Amino acid sequence: MLKNFSSKKNIAISILVLIFIFSLGFSLGQRYAFQSTTLSMFKSSSPDFDQDMFWHVWATIKKNYVNQPVEDKDLFYGALKGLVMGLDDPYSTFLEPEMAKEFLESMSGSFEGVGMEIGIKDGRLTVVAPLPHTPAFRAGLRAGDKIFAINGKDTSTMNLDEAVHLIRGPKGTPVVLTIWHPGENATEEVSIIRDVINIKTVSWELKENQIAYLSITHFNEETWSEFKDIAQVIVRADPQGLIVDLRNNPGGYLDTAVKIAGYWIADEVAVFSKDSSGKETEYHASGKGELSHLPTIVLVNQGSASASEILAGALQDYDHAVILGEQTFGKGSVQELESLFDGSALKLTVANWYTPLGRFISEEGIVPDIKVELTEEDFINEQDPQLERAQSILAEKFLEE
């Protein structure tokens, strides 16, 4: 989950950047003079940390690596990546300028790729959710699928943003994913042709028995304006009940989920975070509860993550909705994105999310009130028992009243 923060300089990164700038003008023979003027800013509290070791490795690579020349920029960016990798957190990463640009484009609602969200689950690169009507969706990829290789490159030691970078590419070009579907005995290679991915995130329709069906597929820059317009239409339609479909919604911006929650919980706390020092920060919705009078069922599955879990958890905690479907992904951490001067960026986990009643989302996700599975057979036959059950419950409620 990303917070919308303005760019600011992180002290540790600034120090490393400073080291890099100075090092460009020095030869290896001047390395120790350089260290004496800069490493005083780069002290570690650990007595086991040997600063000379870093520069020894750097110098050895520059002198002895077989494929010369070795660019200082490559070593510098590699060192920053390794620094963040030392956290052993799949959601924290250093993004080189090109990857940072791709990441920001993906949040704007349009990019070129296959159209799916990925994450790390049980130590393996995993499909969180294929977005509807995208190449990944049409290729049959499903939430929970494991990606063992991308164009033959093993993903076991790959971080998320490296994987995203490899999967994305120009429209019309292929990418081959080695996929393992849960329950299968072997992997299969799936070739997908990339396309322009335009994400229309909110849609609705009025179904039988005056039941409104609202689908939210992502929480990006366009979602809030799309939702506001559709919510007004739903209020005017005055339905007997409402189904909110968050299945295969991988998340996005925090503030969007909090604003949407306000249509049910008004100005109550939608979620709170807890940082490394234990400090808690509450995020209040600012709505008027315009949809709170409607009997609401929220559909979720293992592809519902991050902002989806925040919205579902808030409505569940305040008894404004029945959660139906399957247990969600369980991605409950806060990432802060800091843009750096050269176009690169640091995406760092800075806190964890908790529902209003204090449930830690990363531990078990959101557990549905009514469990309804969508089986492999249902998927193949294009049946939707989860949606059918939700419609049946709301129809019965309407008849009782």
pLDDT digits (tens, 9 = 90+) for 222-255: 899 999 999 999 999 999 999 999 998 988 889 9
Q: Are residues 182 and 210 in the same domain?
A: no
Q: Are residues 210 and 187 in the same domain?
A: no
Q: Are residues 85 and 136 in the same domain?
A: no
How confident is the model at residue 382, as a pLDDT?
76
CB atoms within 10 A of CB 347: 20
**Residue 272: pLDDT over 90:** yes
Q: Are residues 256 and 168 in the same domain?
A: no
Asked if 291 contacts 316 with a C-beta cutoff of 8 angstroms, the reply is no
Q: Are residues 257 and 322 in the same domain?
A: yes
Q: Are residues 218 and 341 in the same domain?
A: yes
pLDDT digits (tens, 9 = 90+) for 243-252: 999 998 988 8
Residue position matching structure tokens 């989920």: 257
| Burial degree of 327 (CB within 10 A; 0-12, 13-18, 19+) | middle
**Domain total of the chain:** 3
Q: Are residues 238 and 312 in the same domain?
A: yes
- Here the tokens at position 202 are 């909110």
- List the domain range (segments joined by +) for residue 63: 2-90
Phi, then psi, of 347 in degrees rounded to 5: -105, 110
Q: Are residues 396 and 356 in the same domain?
A: yes
Q: Does 105 reside within a domain?
A: no
pLDDT digits (tens, 9 = 90+) for 106-136: 666 567 899 888 888 888 999 988 887 899 9
User: Among the three residues 152, 176, 198, which one is the final residue of a domain in this structure?
Assistant: 198
HSE-CB of 319 using CA atoms within 13 angstroms: 0
pLDDT digits (tens, 9 = 90+) for 179-210: 999 888 899 999 999 998 877 789 999 998 89
How confident is the model at residue 360, as a pLDDT?
94
What is the pLDDT confidence band of residue 149, given thresholds at 50, 70 and 90? very high
Phi, then psi, of 154 in degrees rounded to 5: -60, 135
CATH number of the domain within which 310 lies: 3.90.226.10
Give, as one character, the DSSP assignment of residue 219.
Answer: B
**Residue 21: pLDDT over 50:** no
**Residue 146: pLDDT over 90:** yes
Task: Please give the model's pTM, rounded to 2 decimal places.
Answer: 0.71
Q: Are residues 244 and 316 in the same domain?
A: yes
pLDDT digits (tens, 9 = 90+) for 64-104: 999 999 999 999 999 999 999 999 888 899 999 988 887 77
Q: Are residues 224 and 337 in the same domain?
A: yes
CB neighbour burial string for 207-227, b if at least 16 within 10 angstroms, e if fewer: bebebbbbbbbbbbbbbbebb
The gap between the terminal CA atoms of the chain, to the nearest Å, is 40
- Here the tokens at position 7 are 């760019």
Q: Does 96 reside within a domain?
A: no
**Residue 401: pLDDT over 70:** no
Q: Are residues 161 and 245 in the same domain?
A: no
| Burial degree of 266 (CB within 10 A; 0-12, 13-18, 19+) | middle
* Catalytically active residues, by annotation: 306, 317, 331
